[in-house]
C-alpha cells in the first residue's frame, strides 16, 4: 500500500502557483509597457524574496538546507535515470534543486532588470532591455524543462509530483527490497 507523506507546506504551494500565474501572465498576456506588467513583475519579485526568507525559516522541505545545490548528486540522479534505478526523494531531488536555484536566481534577475527599465537612470538603455528579454527567454526554456522533468520523473518513479504540489502530500509507492 502506498504511503502518503506531507511534504509541501501551504506557503510553498501558494508561492509556486502564484509565481506560475504571475510569470505566465507577464510572459503571455500583459503589455510590457503597462503598469499591470510592472506590478505583476514586482509581485513575483516580492514572492521570491518571501520564498528566500521561507527557505531559511520554513519547515524542513522548504529549507534550502534540505536541498543544497549539488552537481555531483545531480549527476548521480542522471545516472540513476539512465540505468533505470529508482531513488525517490521525499523533498526536492538534486536535479529539482538545481532547477529551483536556477529559477529563483533568474526571476530575481528578471525583476531587477525589469525594475531598472522603470527608473530614470536606466530607462531606454538597450542592454538592460536586452538582458531582461534574454532572461525571460531563459526562464521560459527552464519552465518547459521543469515541466517535462516533473512529468518524466512522475512517470518513472510512480509519484504524482504535480498532485503533491497541489495537495502538499506525496503518495510514495511501495518499493521492493533492493529498489
pLDDT digits 0-9 by tens, 81-127:
999 899 899 999 999 999 999 999 999 999 999 999 999 999 889 99
What whole-number percentage of the chain has pLDDT above 70? 96
**Could you tell me the fold of the domain covering 3-171?**
Fumarate Reductase Cytochrome B subunit (1.20.950)
What whole-number percentage of the chain has pLDDT above 90? 88
Residue 174 has what pLDDT?
Answer: 73
- 124-150 pLDDT per residue, tens: 899 999 999 999 999 999 999 999 999
pLDDT confidence band for 175 (50 / 70 / 90): low
This prediction has a pTM of 0.92
User: What does the domain layout of the chain look like in residue ranges?
Assistant: 3-171
Spatial distance between the Cα atoms of 153 and 159, rounded to a whole number of angstroms: 8
Q: What is the dihedral of CA 134, 135, 141, 145, to 10 degrees?
A: 160
**Other beta carbons less than 10 A from residue 83's beta carbon:** 8
Q: Describe the crossing of helices 94-116 and 126-157 by its angle, rounded to 10 degrees.
A: 160
Amino acid at each position: 500500500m502506498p504511503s502518503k507523506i506531507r511534504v509541501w507546506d501551504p506557503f510553498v504551494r501558494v508561492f509556486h502557483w502564484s509565481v506560475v500565474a504571475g510569470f505566465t501572465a507577464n510572459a503571455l498576456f500583459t503589455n510590457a509597457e503597462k503598469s499591470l506588467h510592472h506590478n505583476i513583475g514586482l509581485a513575483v519579485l516580492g514572492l521570491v524574496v518571501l520564498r528566500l526568507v521561507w527557505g531559511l525559516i520554513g519547515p524542513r522541505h522548504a529549507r534550502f538546507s534540505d536541498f543544497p545545490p549539488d552537481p555531483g548528486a545531480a549527476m548521480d540522479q542522471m545516472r540513476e535515470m539512465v540505468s533505470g534505478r529508482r531513488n525517490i526523494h521525499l523533498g526536492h531531488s538534486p536535479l529539482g534543486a538545481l532547477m529551483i536555484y536556477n529559477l529563483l536566481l533568474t526571476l530575481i534577475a528578471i525583476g531587477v532588470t525589469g525594475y531598472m527599465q522603470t527608473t530614470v537612470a536606466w530607462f531606454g538603455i538597450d542592454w538592460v532591455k536586452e538582458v531582461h528579454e534574454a532572461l525571460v527567454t531563459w526562464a521560459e526554456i527552464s519552465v518547459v524543462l521543469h515541466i517535462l522533468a516533473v512529468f518524466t520523473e512522475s512517470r518513472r518513479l510512480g509519484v504524482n509530483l504535480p498532485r503533491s504540489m497541489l495537495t502538499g502530500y506525496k503518495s510514495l509507492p511501495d518499493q521492493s527490497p533492493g529498489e
